[in-house]
Structure 1
């Protein structure tokens, strides 16, 4: 069974494609077309056209979590894919803010237009999940990921109100894994749950001895302290992952550290990247 993965949106892009702060990954397997996240602005449709990858024939549309840079094109996608199934966590439509010291509150939730489009989409085609779910043969969503690793500070300046009274736990953060003969390929949106928590949970579902062959996506190490970075590198080392493709919110400095440690096992992720499993 052949599976093709195309990175359509990322903070970086191959020559001739657009980049933006966001992420979108297309997965194609046995005639099924699955879009995991959909970026922020116009890079998605621009890059899809350049790569001759139509977005009007999707079978599944997945939202890894309810932030604007992962669900910016949802309204249009749901409109042009009226028969698709939509997967997300039930918390994805919360109003959310990023609150940095000495800065005005910034809304980072899905736009009103996107929320209205989700609400209007047929109920029998919306799948709000919280536990591991197989969405196609050998392709799974994690559902809500337990936060058990002590060194993974999965917080940040994220709140549900402008007064900083309600911390946003980002419980809707989900990742995806694909089962192949060579092992697992794991795709993360932002990995707000922490990459150690995420991979441990996936291995718990698939068997502790399961091999992780590829890791692609945002690892949310952009503001990680040195203890967390060291612990993450040590953990990833023990997993013997064949190739790591850090993207989106991993952070430039963190990518440099990962590159120093993993050398040729780490490949730069850019919009336009294509993998065949």
Structure 2
């Protein structure tokens, strides 16, 4: 069963489903009043797709969620098939103007088995042990972005972390060492976080270093999750780059936020991550509007995957948007999802792929 059919099925069976359209209207009046921020510049940003594979069989996950009451059920109340779980994570390396390089990790996936595997593939496990990764940013506490937190903390429990203020109470407890694994597919963490924890809130820019920052957006998602941290970078002589987990606020919201709130914000260079535009793989006229909207900003690189929607990415390429195509590296991994197996266009930046801004 392809992801597009799976997601259509979930939509049909879930009354009142709240999904970000990608158009994005989540920016508050407080955001609009923010003075122009100048948080510096970097020389380059390299993003490695550690994993964009959330799960492997769509029909199995759909059955799990339906049995628990549908897509609006609390994510901790769903019993998941543990053989089906993957996860999302990205490794970001920032080169400062003086040549210094700093690594950041966005998200920690879902299944500890899968995340241990992909961390080893990318060398993230050794980087954590050696404290080569400066900071971790949890984009949001969704199952496939956060439930695998033990895979990170067992290597570096004192890592500095940015965490959304809207995360569930159980998600905060998990960070402290809670165990919810009595429910199949739900997380445990035997390695409580001991490092600095920055709980992000709206209307504040959190500077990571010159040219790099985190901004929190209070946007709705599924399974009762809300809020998302977004990473912004300003590449010298190129412009701004966003790195997202799911981009629930909408890509146009993130672009317009930079335009309104950052110095030289009209200069947009590119983006990486899940863009959450057509996760149901169906087409809607507003998705043409998103393509037209993104075209206005003349970005150089759009590296998308995860929840973007294959249909949108393919149409974006036909419309002339600069979609960064991936390689076949993901096919060498021990598990490959149904949709990925069927992919021949490499329209996604896949597992193991790297993009440089």
> Among 284, 288, 302, which residue is 1:226 paired with?
284
2:162 maps to 1:87 = yes
**SS class of match (1:82):** coil
**SS class of match (2:320):** helix
CA drift of 1:264 comes to 4.9
**SS class of match (2:188):** helix
Report Cα offsets for 1:77-132 as digits up to 9, x if no partner. 12321331011111223569xxxxxxxxxxxxx94525x86xx423x611001132
Where relative contact order (Cα < 8 A, 6+ residues apart) is larger, the structure is: 2
Structure 2: tracts of 5 or more residues without a match? 1-42, 55-83, 95-99, 172-184, 326-347
**SS class of match (1:203):** helix
> Among 186, 189, 193, which residue is 2:245 paired with?
189
In structure 2, relative to structure 1, the CA distance for the partners of 1:193 and 1:3 (3 Å cut) is: closer
What is the aligned partner in structure 1 of residue 272 from structure 2? Answer: 216
2:212 maps to 1:139 = yes
**Is the contact made by 2:251 and 2:275 (CA closer than 8 Å) also made in structure 1?**
yes
**SS class of match (1:257):** helix
Which structure's CA Rg is the greater one? 2
2:45 maps to 1:3 = yes
Provide the rounded CA distance (Å) in 1 between the counterparts of 2:168 and 2:276.
21
> Among 173, 181, 193, which residue is 1:121 paired with?
193
CA drift of 1:209 comes to 4.2
TM-score normalised by length of structure 1: 0.74
Bigger drift between 187-196 and 48-57 goes to: 48-57
Provide the rounded CA distance (Å) in 2 between the counterparts of 1:188 and 1:94.
23
> Among 91, 103, 106, which residue is 1:26 paired with?
91
**SS class of match (2:292):** helix
What is the aligned partner in structure 1 of residue 5 from structure 2? Answer: none
What is the aligned partner in structure 1 of residue 254 from structure 2? Answer: 198
TM-score normalised by length of structure 2: 0.59
How large is the RMSD of aligned CA atoms in angstroms?
2.8
**Is the contact made by 1:37 and 1:63 (CA closer than 8 Å) also made in structure 2?**
yes
Provide the rounded CA distance (Å) in 2 between the counterparts of 1:28 and 1:83.
20
CA drift of 1:11 comes to 2.9
Correspondence 1:43-62 to 2 at 5 A: 43-53=114-124, 54-56=126-128, 57=131, 58-62=133-137
